[in-house]
Amino acid sequence: MGEAPAFFADNLMGDSPKKVDSKSKGIETAIVVGSKIYVIDGVDHELGSTVGVRIFDKSTGEWRIPIVLGTKPKPSKDFSAVLLNDDRVLVVRGNSGSSECFWFLEVGTPFVREHEKTLGNEVVAWSKGVLGNVEKPIVISGPSGVGKGTLISKLMKEFPSMFGFSVSHTTRAPRAKEQNGIHYHFTDRNVMESEIKDGKFLEFASVHGNLYGTSVEAVEVVADAGKRCILDIDVQGARSVRASALEAIFIFIAPPSFDELEKRLRARATETEEQIQKRLQNARAELEQGKSSGLFDHILVNDDLETCYEKLKNILCLREAVKSAPKTKSFNLSIKHPVSMIDQKLLINCTAAEDENTSTNMYVLDFLLKGGAPGRTRGLNMYAINPLTDDVNGNNQLHLTSSFD
């Protein structure tokens, strides 16, 4: 692809305590990681709709175009880039609101390394950075007839604004009155298979020739709405979620005995004998795996429904009144936004959204990163400081002028 570009150093903050490891020319930013230079373009020259990434290998003198996974940011002519922990790059998009300004390009995370082995090619992966944290999703599993649905319904009824369900994907055709995006995300098989290959699904299964699954994005959408996602899936699906990057609480609901489970299944009177026998066969396997695999954080025996429900609320710390999550204050980054790193904290200049005409303010972006590609990277905390009086290293937090967390 030609010779390596001649980049020049761009020290945005002058005499900053720690020099930002990036070099810029025009709308390109280069980040050096070992023997590789990752060149991030404000405009993807092939697609024109997302930020582009190229890799220059200093050891061979060759350019490479990596496979790009995750949710890609839109083009921006005004952005900065900072290397974090040698495995991901924080990209700060200028002239953007708080929901679109922070993006992470993963270059050596476990997710990237795993897909490099699978795909046999260099891989990078994008994820959107989100201010604040969310409650861990809840994975609830158990054999058919154990009462999972009843317990979940009680949670949803008592705490209607706190919990939400992810919408599953399927390759089957919609049935009468089923709406896309509400009952299921209906998709083509080749599309879903491609997204499964790209690691965009937490779990999936083939049922009667059709694919069903839970995408990472479907869970993230629930979290973006300020709710805690509940995943009602089988043991095999729970194992897949456990192997993913999603941090969740895993709860297995067990019957008091196998005989009692059979009684409950028969009492429903909704299935044929053949269907009951199949469910019982599956239940034996699920009970054995659920109780012995170490997969689940908690095992609840549903002997008495109300007692089991109280134990479930205790696990989820729902005994006290549930407070609504604090709203994150919005802001806009100015087109020119000098940045520098101090002790794993990013100093950045931006303007509060509600007061754009005032002079530019100084903010600190703190990192306690959770999640990552192909979902969101959460755990960012941003707060305003007075550079004349505040200690960025945390020894003097009394002078913080405002908090966005």
Residues with a catalytic annotation lie at: 175, 268, 279
Q: Is 3 exposed, middle or buried (0-12, 13-18, 19+ CB in 10 A)?
A: exposed
309 CA to centre of own chain? 29
CA dist 286 and 282 (Å) reads 6
CA dist 115 and 376 (Å) reads 18
CA dist 90 and 366 (Å) reads 12
Q: Max CA-CA distance within the chain?
A: 77
Contacts of 292 (CB under 8 A, 6+ apart): none
Q: Please, how many CA atoms are within 13 Å of residue 160, restricted to the half-sphere of its CB?
A: 1
Q: Please, how many CA atoms are within 13 Å of residue 14, restricted to the half-sphere of its CB?
A: 0
* Peptide bond before residue 374 is cis, with ω within 30 degrees of 0: yes
For residue 299, what is the enclosing H or E element? strand 298-301
CB 18 within 8 A of CB 84: no
Structure tokens, 237: 């699906």
| DSSP conformation letters of 54-114 | EEEETTTTEEE--EEEEPPPPP-SSEEEEEETTTEEEEEESS-BTTTSEEEEESSSHHHHH
Q: Which of these, 246, 239, 256, 248, lies nearest to 292 by C-alpha position?
A: 239
Structure tokens, 388: 């004349």
CA dist 33 and 38 (Å) reads 8
CB atoms within 10 A of CB 174: 12
Structure tokens, 98: 């708080």
Q: Quote the DSSP letter at residue 320.
A: S
